[in-house]
Amino acid sequence: MLQVSKIAEHKDEYIKALKKRNFDASDIFEKVLELDETRRSTQAKLDDTLATSNKLSKEIGLMFKNGEHQKANMLKEKTGRLKEDSKELSEKLNVAVEELQNLLYTIPNIPHESVPAGKNEEDNEEVYKEGDIPVLAEGSLPHWELARKYDIIDFELGNKITGAGFPVYKGKGARLQRALITWFLDKAAEAGYTEYQLPLMVNEASGFGTGQLPDKEGQMYHVTGDDLYLIPTAEVPITNMFRDNLMTEKDFPVKCTGYTPCFRREAGSYGAHVRGLNRLHQFDKVEIVRLETPENSYAALDNMVDHVKGLLKELKLPYRILRLCGGDLGFTSALTFDFEVFSTAQDRWLEISSVSNFENFQANRLKLRYKDKDNRKELAHTLNGSALALPRVLAGILENYQTADGIKIPEVLVPYCGFDIID
């Protein structure tokens, strides 16, 4: 959430920057500043009214003590009117505060200066590519056919149990999935991230804290009976561990990781681009999250990008990195790099990770602050990244490692799997 003081200070600059997102902030900024002026003036009147009322109450007490009952009763009438005034001002203040907060929730983060302008994913900028795309033998199969052939993932059984988008992993498929999770967590631990086991449901305050709420696109599963939400990513519970915290500079950097299932109510559609593991309602992911001071957050972002690059290099999967354009940038992000692995069997790139710097956008919602060296309270910066999301990594391994004899297992995963081929 943007700070009102920063909007007032950088209004024209922010309006220009948000145009990269195809978001016209002119009218909404004017409304924000108008509501903030109403809030501040009403607060000042309320404070003055309460101060006057308190002063008169003390005078009334002295008058009664001194036997000046007539004067005291006249002042009591005045304090009665002041109480009515303060009640009206308090109600007006609450309305202004709520309207201002709700309006601020609708404004996306300011994109970093390096974010290219653009409307959608076609305008994203490729910044890096690594790995040779394997040449598959004639008749090579996409992962959903391989899953059926080797009986390692059962999409129909998941559909029977729950519905489309909830696959059942079986045998070596389940073991490969578990191996990936453990390896990702071990690599995160080697990089200095502390592992957490997390709740899979969060309350409304947590959803607002990291920007998933208000949920304009209906992406979150809502458990209405208890007013809880199934998490779309471990980012939400991890980052909310620090909600309302006041930290010190020596506490940074904070580096957390966690494995969780993730739940997303993706819009349904048809075609090869959403078949198999390409788009799911439930999937597994290992997340890395960092809290940083503002001056260190972009160096931390580079470090997180390098961490994901290292994972894909060890898996020997061909991949590329995209800098997202304004039109494809997530609501809360200032800068995002997407990783895509090349699926040779599908002849297309599949997104497998997003690494983002939110700057202080989430921290302002979370009230996550720290005391700097001059003992001033400042907002921290938050970052997160998928390291990695499993479905499309698994799809890439199945498709790119397939041979006439079976599906080979990447060398780094063999000790975790206990086998070197699926046949």
Binding-site annotation: residue ranges:
233, 264-266, 287, 351-354, 384
C-beta of residue 277 within 8 angstroms of C-beta of residue 391: yes
Residue owning tokens 């631990």: 189
Q: Report the C-alpha gap between 174 and 153 in whole angstroms.
A: 8
Residue owning tokens 């203040």: 93
Binding residues for ATP: 264-266, 351-354
Q: What is the DSSP letter of 139?
A: T
Which residues face 381 on adjacent strands?
A: 292
The CA-based diameter of the chain, rounded to the nearest angstrom, is 106
C-beta of residue 387 within 8 angstroms of C-beta of residue 262: no
C-beta of residue 263 within 8 angstroms of C-beta of residue 282: yes
Q: Report the C-alpha gap between 350 and 341 in whole angstroms.
A: 5
Nearest-10 crossing angle of helices 26-65, 11-18: 140
Q: Which of 179, 387, 374 has its CA nearest to residue 290?
A: 387
C-alpha distance from residue 242 to each of 108, 212, 238, 245, 364 (Å): 22, 16, 8, 5, 12
Q: Report the C-alpha gap between 242 and 237 in whole angstroms.
A: 9
DSSP letter for each residue of 281-293: SEEEEEEEEEEE-
C-beta of residue 216 within 8 angstroms of C-beta of residue 102: no
Structure tokens at 178: 């578990």
Three-state secondary-structure class, residue 128: strand
Structure tokens at 150: 């080797």
Structure tokens at 281: 């309602």
H/E element holding 27?
A: helix 26-65
Q: What share of the chain is helix, strand, coil (3-state, %, to 5)?
A: 45, 20, 30
C-beta of residue 181 within 8 angstroms of C-beta of residue 284: yes
Residue owning tokens 């109403």: 38
Binding residues for L-serine: 233, 264, 287, 384
